[in-house]
Amino acid sequence: MYKNVFVDQIGYLPEMKKYVTIRSESPVSFEVRRSDGSAVYHGFADRCVKNTAAGETDYIGDFSGIQEPGRYYILAENHSESDTFIICEDAFDDVFHKGMRFFYLQRCGCDLPSKAAGIYAHRACHTGTAAIYGENGRREVSGGWHDAGDYGRYVGPGAMAVAQLLYAYERKQSLCDRYDCPGTENTSALPAFLGEIRYELDWMLKMQREDGALYHKATCRGFCGFVMPEEEQEELVLSPVSVTATGDFAAACAMAVRFYAPYDAAYADTLTDAARRAYAAMKTMELPGGFRNPPEISTGEYGDPDDTDERYWAAAELYKAFGDEEYRLDFEKLAAGKIYQGYGWVEMGSYGNLAYLSTDHPVNEEIKSAIISAMLERADALLKTVNADGYGTALTEKEYIWGSNLSVANNGLHLYDAWALTGRHEYLDAAAEQLHYLLGRNPMGLSYVTGCGTDAIKHPHHRPSGFQGKAMPGMLSGGPCDWMADAAAKGVLAPGTAPAKCLVDMTDSYSTNEVTIYWNSALLQLMASVL
């Protein structure tokens, strides 16, 4: 059914700002109604936005005054209805826990029993040793999370996911500590949330070479078809080491030390040693800035062209963790040239900034001030975009790229950072709008998280989901991409489709509808930040 009224399909915390977007050519009145049809609020959507990204005119209404817990919907004067939503203090808990359970369901190298995984149960996969590309040796590298819709495992994106999940734990421990995976039993003192993150850390430790450097990825030479993971039987290959993988690993391990030390001192020591060795190896590596696939390998490249931001993050994180002068000087030298920012696997500078600003060790006040100024400048630009967009997203018309929903979530994190620095609530409100966009207040009228909301993505590009014919719940779709980079998108979307509507809910549309662990981790960090 064609929609004209758009809200967050999950809902709102009582104290949140609450906006409705109504697709219309003129101002329109609306009612907020309880699920039984009784009206509780009459409003008027009269703030007009000429939405070029969506190719439409939008009118925005405010119903923030509705704070009473309950289930609601919005009826516009043209008799269009929104999806239903709830208002309550734990409105988002189910989405958060489904989003975290996704990581368990992405586990590689172990049995997933049906009592825990349901139809996505599978036998241990990818347990054989991997050939080391360009060498005669082999290496045992079982474990970790399958990266995305395919079954590859990649150090850089994995380290990013680890960092974002640790930030989620730090910012909303009470929510994270309530996480458990149905059908599994946690007998450890370590919270289940941290236990799941450790599963990825343990795999990355296996990817560290004796000299400290990290192999870039563990994959087959090409992608398999839509089969369950244990059916991918081609030979595993370790791609060559890279600076980006090594720097990301060093940073993630150093960050993880403070989370695991209270529970397992020996493991914290292991992480410390691994981080220091990786950093030392990174400093000796003069490889081209980005990784490139060897000729025989066609799996995900993650070919970051510039390794400087990884060095930046690693130096800051190791300085925060260990306090060595070497790490401080390395970071400050890089920061004096440029303040790096970004929460993606390509641009990771913001992790370094957060580490430097939050360390207990001495810092250069001039560099600290420069970092804060750069962060606020970026947030102010994002805030301007949010206020000019019909759906409150911080994406410009040209930013509906592959994985645009990651950009949405990460923009929310930048806005949250500005709130944390200033206490100005317009930043926090704008950060929350990025979550509302992902959960239904968007031009497609879809919740981009599978199994969450009344009208959610149903056919993600994800092999277990495609094989079983049902979307695994809790996965964030990549979102609209005006590149139209796959045959499904080209076959369905007409030339000139508005960028914000370039999404195809089809399994074959990998450029608009794939999932990844680091899109999910960004979603969870955003949720833990704004809730």
- CB 314, CB 251: distance < 8 Å: yes
Here the tokens at position 300 are 């995900």
Give the separation between CA 330 and CA 323, rounded to whole angstroms: 12
- CB 57, CB 427: distance < 8 Å: no
Question: CA nearest 168: which of 412, 492, 418, 5?
Answer: 412
Give the separation between CA 215 and CA 222, rounded to whole angstroms: 17
Question: CA nearest 196: which of 170, 177, 172, 215?
Answer: 177
- CB 514, CB 226: distance < 8 Å: no
Question: CA nearest 512: which of 496, 530, 526, 493?
Answer: 493
Question: CA nearest 328: which of 369, 376, 360, 295?
Answer: 360
Give the separation between CA 230 and CA 175, rounded to whole angstroms: 33
Amino acid making up residue 162: V
User: Would you call 147 a catalytic residue per the annotation?
Assistant: no
**Phi/psi class of residue 143: alpha, beta or left (left: φ > 0; alpha: ψ in -120 to 50)?**
left
Here the tokens at position 171 are 């910012």
Describe the crossing of helices 93-105 and 155-171 by its angle, rounded to 10 degrees.
Answer: 150
Catalytic residue among 461, 462, 482, 486: 461
User: Would you call 514 a catalytic residue per the annotation?
Assistant: yes
- CB 511, CB 486: distance < 8 Å: yes
- CB 386, CB 430: distance < 8 Å: yes
Strand pairing of 70-76 and 85-87? antiparallel
User: Would you call 505 a catalytic residue per the annotation?
Assistant: yes
Catalytic residue among 83, 147, 150, 232: 150
Distances (CA, A) of 289 to 19, 43, 138, 216: 44, 54, 26, 13
Burial of residue 174 (CB within 10 Å: 0-12, 13-18, 19+) is exposed
User: Would you call 433 a catalytic residue per the annotation?
Assistant: no
Give the separation between CA 253 and CA 274, rounded to whole angstroms: 7
Distances (CA, A) of 439 to 7, 23, 215, 296, 477: 8, 18, 36, 40, 11
The Cβ of residue 38 has, within 10 Å, a number of other Cβ atoms equal to 8
Distances (CA, A) of 265 to 57, 212, 257, 268, 320: 58, 21, 9, 5, 18
Residues catalogued as catalytic? 150, 461, 505, 514
